[in-house]
Structure 1
Amino acid sequence: MKLFYIDLVYPIGHKRQNEFFINILSKIIDTKAYVPKNYYKNIDKYNLIEESPKLKVGRFKARLTSFKITLRAAALSRKEKPKYIFIASYDTIIFALCRIFFFKKSNIMLLQHNNIDETTNRVKRFFFNSYKKKVSHIVFEDFIKDYLITCGIDKNVINVIPHQINKKSTSNDLIHKTMYECVALSNSNDEDFITDIIKSEKSTSFFLDNKIKIIIKSKYQEFDNDYLTVFNGFLKEDFYDQKISQAKSIFMPFPVTFKYRMSGTLVDSLSSNKILIGNNIPLITHYNSKFPNICKNISDVNSLKEFLLILKNNEITEEQQNEFSIFKEEHSDKKIEKIFTNLFKS
């Protein structure tokens, strides 16, 4: 076995991504995975080295299970002695405590999600610093790599792998009539920004008067005047896919703490040929510089309303279609497979 693929946290939102990575890595290198049995539908059973337990519900139980998974994964690495250990997601503190138990000659590759942003916490920064120069890092964007370099990490151990496109979003089965000018369905939505939108609508009735339909997911707020709809609660995958397909644009009102990580919402938006709107966080600024015609950064509720009014009266242009095509090419299976192939040759 040359590569051992493990996920130590199993976020529900990363299910498609893990399936994609295991399948594409299996084409390039001898890959075995330590994942829950029957958790991933599209993974060849021969890739499964051993069934791992599923995480328990609740913060303490989930962390305890993650700790057990990490220790068992470390034991399996010592037994199998892989050249590479690919860790798809992990708990910063648990990994720091358990890293010494992994096979010492393996090249540990950490796929970074929110772990970098968590280093604003002094305790997590201490644990992150304890291993940051002793592993390889995989990030989704160049600007994240640039930040890690400023943290004292050698650029040669940081690899940029594009996030795969959402093929479900590009499927013809999901083409529906446009019903919403904009949707904002991420769990990362900033509640303060949502509050400002609701307050503005109560005082101006902008969305109602201009017949601009927008739907926003909140953690706890609710509002509905038939044009601005804010809801909370569990979001089913089918509902999410349907609303994305019915929208003209996707809005990411993310908090300023969302800095050095990728967003599945962004990928779903551009995979679906939907204009992306976001506030001034590094990810949106980065994509606005790369794709200025399909990614718009806004600063407040008024600039959001101004842009939606413009968007309502315009159709997709040829320039925008070209940028969507470039995005899909840069994030294609072929592109990602080529990068991984070159990575394991070096």
Structure 2
Amino acid sequence: MKDVKKKILYIDPLLQNGHVNFNNIYIESLRKSGHLLEFVFVRGYEDKLNIDSSEVVYSIPKVFFKKDLGKLGNRIAYFFALLFIKLFVDFKKYDLIIFSSFEEVSFFLSNIKKCCLINHINVSTSVESKVKYFFLNKVLINNSLIVLDKETKSYLSTKGSYKIYVQPHGLPNAKSLIHTNEDDEFGYIFEELIKYKKILFSPSESSSDKDFINELIRSNKFMEYLEQEDILFVYKDKSPVVKRNTLVISVFLSQNAYDYLFLKSDIILIAYPTNFKYRVSGVLLECMANDKPCVVSRIDTLESYSDFFKYDAFYSNIDELIQIIGDLGKFNQNGGGFYRSLTMLEPNFNNFIN
């Protein structure tokens, strides 16, 4: 008997440019499942995903996302966006409705039920906020949740009897080395890169372990190591400290400039604090997708990816960080790269939907 195609509605109610890669990965995986897909996005967002407008059944007015209204104002805007979706979209037409992102307070107030939601930072922020946990719990009573790793599912299983499914984030497409002299604003960055033998780049600012980065900058041992090995340490900070063998980026990088810097770097530093829990590191997945070696904070969320490394990437202090950087210089890839079994990180919706 031939499988009956199911009708799936994929909704991203939040205008988040940082989720473009994620949405592309999940939509591609859903398409491979062979079912019928339709979409709801903030108006114009489908263009970033190369989705034909004929597949979009409703466009959320962009007026809700014109400017940052603060925490309360944003939640009110999200709430009204959800009400508009309920008003103009007939949920009964679909076998499965997926929200690729959500904000727990506004979602609870919208009274939307029997949908499948995708966790990004919702569980992580609920750990430290009783208010967010209260609303997340209420939402999960009436909806199922896709989490991106087993650690998050294990944590939630201790909190209640929820319907939780694990689907990996998936890997973004490999980056292309695109750089033109038109990027005059970032010319000083590119000029510095060619002066050194190696580049160590810490791409994250908002999620980074700022205390550890500051410890590195203050460490005579680390600074001497950089100078001895002719390494340039590039990191982001709004309050730069000028030191030899360091380059501080205090401006927002264009995507092309970021990609160029990422690919030109020899090693990526992923320094996250211990409260980075129940969420995925996009930078780590970028490293894997581009076979770029990285050194990683020894915290549970990141160590859950240890099986995908062909080398010990995890550090707890400056000495271990220096040791790993040195070991990577001797690492023999044997033509096979720095990572393994990466297909395990790709989402698969065949069994999930059927």
TM over 0.5: yes
SS across alignment from 1:284: helix
Alignment pair present for 1:91 and 2:110: no
* Alpha-carbon shift at residue 43 of structure 1 (Å): 0.9
What is residue 344 of structure 1 aligned with on the other side? 353
Cα distance change, pair 5–179 in 1 and its aligned pair in 2 (3 A): farther
Once the two structures are superposed, what CA deviation does each residue of 1:72-92 show, in whole Å capped at 9, x if it has no partner?
123344465422221111112
Say if 1:260 and 1:295 are closer, same or farther in 2 by CA, change over 3 A: farther
Q: 1:341 to 1:87 in 2, by over 3 A?
A: same
CA RMSD for the aligned pairs? 2.7
Query: CA, structure 1 residues 161+330, in 2 after alignment: closer, same or farther (shift >3 Å)?
Result: same
The 5 A counterparts of 1:133-152 are 133-152=141-160
- Between the aligned partners of 1:40 and 1:224, the Cα distance in structure 2 is 42
> Which amino acid is the alignment partner of residue 21 of structure 2?
R
CA distance in 2, matches of 1:194, 1:310: 21
What residue number does 1:49 align with? 57
Give 1:292 shift.
4.3
How far is 1:238 from its partner? Answer: 0.9
Corresponding residue for residue 345 of structure 2: 331
How far did 1:201 drift?
A: 4.7
Measure how far apart 1:23 and its partner are: 4.0
Q: Is the 8 A contact 2:153 2:166 kept in 1?
A: yes
| Number of the residue aligned with 1:115 | 122
Decide which of 221, 225, 228 is 1:209's aligned counterpart: 228
Give the counterpart letter for 1:268 in structure 2.
Answer: E
Aligned AA (1:314):
K
Q: Is the 8 A contact 2:11 2:39 kept in 1?
A: yes
Instruction: Tell me the residue number matched to 1:314.
Output: 330
Q: Tell whether the 8 Å contact from 1:180 to 1:215 is kept in structure 2 after alignment.
A: no
SS across alignment from 2:247: strand
Over 3 Å counting, the alpha-carbon distance change for 1:73 and 1:259 in structure 2 is: same
The one-letter amino acid paired with 1:116 is V
Is 1:189 aligned to 2:208, yes or no?
yes
> What is the aligned partner in structure 2 of residue 127 from structure 1?
135
Who is 1:267 aligned against? Answer: 285
Aligned-residue sequence identity (percent) comes to 25
Task: Indicate if the aligned counterparts of 1:275 and 1:295 stay in contact, CA closer than 8 A.
Answer: no
Do the aligned residues in 2 keep the contact of 1:23 with 1:43 (CA within 8 Å)?
A: no
- In structure 2, the CA distance between the partners of 1:129 and 1:79, relative to structure 1 (3 Å rule), is closer
Bigger drift between 190-199 and 206-215 goes to 206-215
Q: Does 1:31 align with 2:37?
A: yes
TM-superposed CA distance for 1:275, in Å, is 1.7
- Provide the C-alpha distance between the structure 2 equivalents of 1:266 and 1:126, rounded to a whole number of angstroms: 31
Q: TM-score, normalised by structure 2?
A: 0.82
Query: 2:273 aligns to what SS in structure 1?
Result: coil
**Aligned residue identity for 1:341:** N
**TM-score, with normalisation over the residues of structure 1?**
0.84
Counterpart-to-counterpart distance in 1, 2:222 and 2:292: 29
Q: Which residue of 2 aligns with 1:58?
A: 68
Is 1:282 the counterpart of 2:300 in the alignment? yes
Distance 1:20 1:10 in 2: 17
1:278/1:297 contact within 8 Å kept: yes
Q: Which moved more, 1:225-234 or 1:4-13?
A: 225-234
Structure 1: state its 5+ residue gaps. Answer: none
Go from structure 1 to structure 2 and tell me whether the alpha carbon gap of 1:117 and 1:194 turns closer, same or farther (over 3 Å shift).
same
SS of 1:324 mapped into structure 2: coil
1:2 aligned partner: 7
Contact 2:269 2:296 in 1 (8 A): yes
2:116 aligned counterpart, secondary structure: strand
Give the letter for the 1:163 counterpart.
Answer: H
User: C-alpha deviations, 1:306-334, integer Å up to 9, x for none?
Assistant: 322332x324423962x62421x2234xx
What are the superposed Cα offsets for residues 255-294 of structure 1, whole Å, 9 maximum, x if unpaired?
A: 2221101111111011111122221222221112x13424
SS in structure 2 of the partner of residue 168 of structure 1: coil
1:22 aligns with 2:27: yes
**Comparing 290-299 with 123-132, which one deviates more in the overlay?**
290-299
| Residues 1:159 and 2:165 are matched in the alignment | yes
Q: Please state whether the residue corresponding to 1:250 is helix, strand or coil.
A: strand
Does the CA-based 8 Å contact 2:39-2:55 persist in structure 1?
yes
Whole-Å Cα distance in 2 between the matches of residues 262 and 44 of structure 1?
29
Unaligned runs of 5+ in 2: 1-5, 180-192
Aligned to 2:188: none
Contact map agreement 1:56 1:62 (CA 8 A) in 2: no
Quote the Cα distance in structure 2 between the aligned partners of 1:26 and 1:118: 31
Distance 1:181 1:203, change over 3 A: closer
Give the residue type in structure 2 aligned to 1:215: V
Q: Tell me, what secondary structure is at the counterpart of 2:269?
A: strand
Residues 246/204 of structure 1: CA separation in 2 closer, same or farther (3 Å cut): closer
**Cα displacement (A) at 1:45:** 1.6
- Mapped contact 2:104–2:139 kept (Cα < 8 A): no
SS at match of 2:248: strand
- Matches of 2:88 and 2:320, distance apart in 1: 53
